[in-house]
Amino acid sequence: MNNEKLIFTDSHEADATFAAKQYYGCKYSADNHVSVMAADTDKPAGIVTNNPASGEAAQVLKVGRCPGVVAEAITFGQSVRIDENGRVALVAPGTDTTMYAVGQCVQGADALDEVGVFDFNFPSAGRAA
């Protein structure tokens, strides 16, 4: 499956290894580096599209269509966020303002650690509620 339609990517030094985290979300850390997500409240910076070790260049998708490893079943058209493990998850309905909505599903996935395809827009990430 090659559904990548990259529109805007950037390169950042990885502060942690992403060797087993291709297509996971990342967050900014010090000095314009990126690291693994640690909490639902972290503001996501993008999706890592390669497999960098710590200190290597991470290619980070900021805007565009890209695969993403999912945290749960997600279907076409649903709004998504990045969870505390870097997986793509559903935006919880209601008034939770601790999460950032980052995109929409274009090809669903049925279970944890499967890969779906999403239209992402990280520079415009806003609180989910």
Final residue in a domain of this structure, among 63, 79, 107: 63
Q: Which of 78, 74, 106 is nearest to 87 (CA)?
A: 74
Interval 93-118: pLDDT, tens: 776 677 899 999 999 999 999 999 99
**pLDDT (0 to 100) of residue 97:** 75
Q: State pTM to two decimals.
A: 0.90
Final residue in a domain of this structure, among 31, 63, 95: 63
Residue 100 and residue 53 share a domain:
no
Residue 97 and residue 57 share a domain:
no
Q: Please tell me the total count of domains within the chain.
A: 2
Residue 48 and residue 31 share a domain:
yes
More confidently predicted of 34 and 129: 34
Domain extent, residue 99, equals: 66-127
CB 82 within 8 A of CB 102: yes
Residue 96 and residue 57 share a domain:
no
CB 118 within 8 A of CB 25: no
Residue 71 and residue 122 share a domain:
yes
Residue 112 and residue 74 share a domain:
yes
Q: Which residues contact 125 (CB under 8 A, 6 or more apart)?
A: 43, 44, 100, 101, 102
**pLDDT(3) > 80:** no
Instruction: Assign 6 a pLDDT band (cuts: 50, 70, 90).
Output: low
**pLDDT (0 to 100) of residue 129:** 59
Final residue in a domain of this structure, among 47, 63, 79: 63
Residue 104 and residue 55 share a domain:
no
Residue 52 and residue 76 share a domain:
no
